[in-house]
Structure 1
Amino acid sequence: MPHEFEVREEVAIDATPEQVWEAISTGPGIDSWFMGRNEVEPGEGGALRHSMMGHTQTATVTAWEPLKRFSYQSTANPDGTFMAMDYLIEGRQGGSTVLRLVHSGFLGDDWEAQYDALKKGDGMYLQKLAAYLKHFPGRVSTFNMLVPGPQVTDQERVWKTFASALGLTGTVAKGDRVRLTVDGLPPAEGVVECADYPSIPSVCTGDALYMFMYGYRGTVVVEQHSFIEGVDGEATEEAWKAWLATAFA
């Protein structure tokens, strides 16, 4: 039977309410920090379509108050499961913003593992959103990808492998300078914006935002959002697939 759940998170963002609104309520904005491809029909009652790995999920916009509130609820599955997202925007002095998220709904038979992943993932994605608006304000991604790797039980191995790809050892913390080196991709200098053992939710280089995540049922995941033209998406994705297969063999 479906299990009701609720996750509450908030994040302080060094961006205006206008910038936050664009990032959470438009397709190109969501694409620049969240997973998959997204389309949003503005206004209450509009449709939101989220496509990833060959599957498209639809949702209905349930609240549309520009610069204040954006909410939507996914179409219910035959078993009664669905998810609802409710974002509340609060502007602060100095042009900053606090964004609050209530993520609720009903989960299926595997609800415990799903809930654990959501509790971890929601906060990480909000930190990733904050990193996007800090480093790439006014820009939207030209290429974004999510590449899942194998399931790994050793968290310390995951942590060390992620850190190694960034040229880091030992403790990883916000502000650490990195050098991303992955076979098949050009080296890139950057900075850690958020570290949450054993995941590294946000790393920013001059032209891309990355997430290294230890996710649902121990699956390792890499996400990339690029903000320059001319990225060879197919080659980039293949390079990450090869790295995941080799690094966690």
Structure 2
Amino acid sequence: MSKEFEIVREFEVDVPPEQVWDAVVHASGAYLWPMDPPEPRVGGSGPFGSTVTAWDPPHRYTNRSENVGMPVQSVNQLDYTIEPRDEGRRAWVRYVHSGIFTDDWNNQYDGASKHTNFYLHTLCEYLTHFAPRPVAFAQLNGPAASATRQALAAAGHALGLADDAAAGTKVALRGPGGRTLAAVLDYRTPYFIGLRTDRALIRFFGRGHWGAPLGISIHDFAPDADAEANESAWQDWLNGVFNQS
């Protein structure tokens, strides 16, 4: 049965509003996945066939999609309100994701809500540590065997991440090819793991909770970043965790 949903989050970040605006409009691959920037006007085209319904740089941006074409969603809207704090040195952000789920409402809402928390945290990590550096983005999914609730814990153990390691902990982990990965564990829940190195944000998505394989995204900000090499290396690592050749 179709039913509306609304996910609202508010947060502050220690960068000017203009920097938040630039990230939201132009640097989606730095914290989400790369999307075409919106046409800068009300009525203009937005990502994935959406329409810009509010455009007031650097304060308000909204895009809306009707007839989304997804099997479980018919309407999708993303709304950003950005206001200055501390004489423009900091920014307050209100983010609203709304629309209509047409099937499996509780599961879809739970997944969208938890993913929102992680994506907005990653946005703040980018703004605080890497902006405005360009990004090389890669993403990949594990094999079918990783579509379980235990998959994220298995990935954490393969990294050598201690069960009691909390967000904010500096860690030395086993990355692709057995290389040591020096990182800060910047996010950890039963659903997601976030790692920040001196050059990249590496995100693990335990989507087995919602019936999908484990996912990884790599947002690499180094001058010599190679997205294809990152994808290949982490895919081999992930396949090895779940014994897939």
**2: CA distance between counterparts of 1:63 and 1:147?**
33
Aligned partner of 2:147: which letter?
A: V
The question of 1:2 aligning with 2:2 is answered yes
Secondary structure of the structure 1 residue equivalent to 2:211: helix
Establish whether residue 24 from structure 1 lines up as the match of residue 24 from structure 2. yes
SS at match of 1:39: coil
Q: CA deviation at 1:129?
A: 0.3
Deviation at 1:192, TM superposition (A): 2.0
Query: Aligned-residue CA RMSD in angstroms?
Result: 2.3
Give how far 1:133 is off. Answer: 0.7
Residue pair 2:175, 2:181 contacting (<8 A) in 1 also = no
Match of 2:45 in 1: 47
In 1, Cα distance between the equivalents of 2:185 and 2:18?
25
Partner of residue 61, structure 2? 70
Matches within 5 A, 1:46-195: 46-49=44-47, 57-77=48-68, 81-93=74-86, 95-141=89-135, 143-149=136-142, 150=144, 151-155=146-150, 158-162=152-156, 164-165=158-159, 167-184=160-177, 187-195=180-188
Equivalent residue number for residue 234 of structure 1: 228
Distance in 1 (alpha carbons) for counterparts of 2:214 and 2:231: 15
Q: TM-score, structure 2 length as denominator?
A: 0.86
Q: What is the aligned length?
A: 236
Q: Percent identity?
A: 32
Unaligned stretches of 5+ residues in structure 2:
none
User: 1:180: Cα distance to partner?
Assistant: 4.2
Distance of 2:78 and 2:39 partners within structure 1 = 16
| SS at structure 1 position matched to 2:10 | strand
CA contact (8 A) 1:11 1:127 kept: no
1:210: Cα distance to partner?
1.3
Instruction: Establish whether residue 245 from structure 1 lines up as the match of residue 244 from structure 2.
Output: no
* Residue 196 of structure 2: aligned partner: 204
5+ unaligned residues in a row in structure 1: which ranges? Answer: 50-56
Looking at structure 2, the residues matched to 42 and 219 of structure 1 have their Cα atoms a distance apart, in angstroms, of 36
Name the structure with the higher strand share.
Answer: 1
Give the drift of 1:177.
0.8
How far did residue 231 of structure 1 move? Answer: 2.8
Aligned partners of 1:191 and 1:204 also within 8 Å: yes
Q: Partners of 2:36 and 2:177 in 1: how far apart?
A: 28
